[in-house]
Amino acid sequence: MSIGENTASQVRDVIIVGSGPAGYTAAVYTARANMKPLLIAGSVTAGGELMNTTDVENYPGFPEGIMGPDLMENFEKQAARFGTEIQFEDVTELNLDGDIKTVTIGSGETFQAKAIILSTGSAYRELGLANEKRLSGHGVSWCATCDGFFFKDQDIAVIGGGDSAMEEALFLTKFAKSVTVVHRRDTLKASKIMGDRAQAHEKIKFVWNTAVEDVLGEDKVTGLKLKNLVDGTESELAVTGVFVAIGNDPRTDLVKGKVDLTPEGTIAVEGRSSRTNVKGVFAAGDVIDPTYRQAITASGSGCVAALDVEHYISDLNS
Ligand SMILES: Cc1cc2nc3c(=O)[nH]c(=O)nc-3n(C[C@H](O)[C@H](O)[C@H](O)COP(=O)(O)OP(=O)(O)OC[C@H]3O[C@@H](n4cnc5c(N)ncnc54)[C@H](O)[C@@H]3O)c2cc1C
């Protein structure tokens, strides 16, 4: 499905890869700068991570909150309103050499542009349990900043043993009655300072050497089925919220070996800009962000990329 005209042979000013908050914001800005962007949205993952959540209460401009998929539909409509051409396909290959970049999509069709904005996001690691997926947005979350507020006075579990798990657990103590950290090993991977802080907190308990076997609950989470990895005993933990904090992988498969990455695996950009080490290639959103990873920061980053591309194209033309 596509919106607007689709002329494969032309060399466009800009192609945007990804249809999350970063990609659509870059599209709104570049479209309003008359650059006629083509946005490759992805096929099954179009709309990005907010398609997997329910209420979004922290995106400014929506005082009553908005459902994630509704917010992304608004983004799409706004980008289309200014003439963004949208292809609901996956990019399968990128040739970033030279002044004209080539983008190949799943159907085999190719498109060319002077500039590319990469906004492919990142993926939270999952436990890989069927009920984890089913109860996502109904008690299972990957983001305490986003969803902690919904768990006031409740018993919550955090899965993981790294710095981000400790950060999530400490943040959740602001709301939760109790926070139980479930960790596969008997020591933390987290830095000593974060581990000490979490272990000293009166609301936080630790369950060591333990794997999550299942997430329990019909419409909402009611508990976890746990297995002790030392003696094999099984138990249940009654919780109404589960925060999975076992890592996050920036989606860089398309550009590995083609643009520089940071030690954290995100696409490296120059300072506060969106410029990668490859001329004409820009990046925005969670794919460049190991730290904040919010819809609003991704949008801001998409705006930066659009303005950088605008300057790049006007320099090329002058
Ligand atoms: C369950 C959940 C709830 C969240 N809740 C909130 C919240 O309440 N508030 C908040 O601010 N943030 C929330 N977040 C975080 C927020 O969703 C992300 O920070 C934000 O979506 C990042 O935007 P992005 O545009 O960088 O990437 P994404 O939204 O991840 O979008 C990436 C895009 O890239 C596309 N893509 C990837 N590979 C390809 C390819 N090969 N070809 C074409 N397209 C491709 C995908 O289709 C997708 O459209 C939540 C995240 C999760 C997982």
pLDDT tens sequence across 21-30: 999 999 999 9
Q: How would residue 8 be classed by pLDDT, with cut points 50, 70 and 90?
A: low
pLDDT value at 4 more than 80: no
Domain boundary among 219, 244, 269: 244
pLDDT value at 7 more than 90: no
Domain boundary among 201, 216, 244: 244
Give the residue-averaged pLDDT of 107-117: 97
289 is catalytic: no
Determine the structural domain holding residue 261 and report its residue range: 11-124+248-317
pLDDT value at 208 more than 70: yes
pLDDT at 9: 65
Identify whether the C-beta of residue 269 lies closer than 8 Å to the C-beta of residue 2. Answer: no
147 is catalytic: yes
Cα separation, 187 vs 172, in Å, equals 21
Residue 261: CB atoms within 10 A of its CB come to 19
Distance from residue 158's CA to the centre of ligand 1 (Å) = 21
* Pair (252, 240) in one structural domain: no
- Catalytic residue, from 55, 143, 163, 214: name it: 143
pLDDT value at 125 more than 60: yes
pLDDT at 1: 39
Q: What is the pTM of this model?
A: 0.89
Domain boundary among 244, 277, 298: 244
CATH number of domain containing 148: 3.50.50.60
* Pair (252, 237) in one structural domain: no
Q: Is residue 5 part of a domain?
A: no
* Pair (215, 277) in one structural domain: no
* Pair (15, 120) in one structural domain: yes
* Pair (239, 147) in one structural domain: yes
Distance from residue 45's CA to the centre of ligand 1 (Å) = 9
Q: Is residue 26 part of a domain?
A: yes
pLDDT at 318: 83
Diameter of the chain by CA atoms?
A: 71
> What is the count of structural domains for the chain?
2
Instruction: Report the mean per-residue pLDDT for the chain.
Output: 95
pLDDT at 54: 84
* Pair (37, 140) in one structural domain: no
pLDDT at 2: 42
143 is catalytic: yes
CA angle, 96 as apex, 250 and 89 as ends, to 5°?
60
Q: Is residue 3 part of a domain?
A: no
